Amino acid sequence: MSNKPTLDDVLGAIGKSVGVDHKAIMVDVRANLAKLNACPRHDFQGIQDTSLGTLGDGSKWFRDYRCTRCGGKVDSHGYHWYQRGVEHGSAK
């Protein structure tokens, strides 16, 4: 039997050192993925992040996007690639 720490051990130690409950975060992540996976077609809307200010043309920065149908949340990279898939799929 190995004495190597498990991923759960490592995450627990890191989380404890910075005051984060990694198990609670994983519960939230799994719930979000379940929402996203169950949704037949997303309709993402940007969640405005006022801490980032605005772009030179006055438009807003969006760090995260939430689906108005399922409530699932993705970051800007997930949103970008989802939109690319929609564009490619509708071009057929």
Give residue limits of the domains in the chain: 1-38, 41-92
pLDDT number for residue 54 = 62
Rounded mean pLDDT, 59-79: 89
Q: Which has more pLDDT, 74 or 47?
A: 74
Average pLDDT, the chain: 86
Cβ neighbours of residue 16 under 8 Å, at least 6 residues apart?
Answer: none
Q: Please indicate whether residue 68 or residue 92 has the higher confidence score (pLDDT).
A: 68
Q: What is the pTM of this model?
A: 0.71
Per-residue model confidence (pLDDT) at position 56: 63
d(CA 33, CA 14): 23
| C-alpha distances out from residue 84 to 59, 75, 91, Å | 21, 14, 11
Mean pLDDT of 36-43: 97
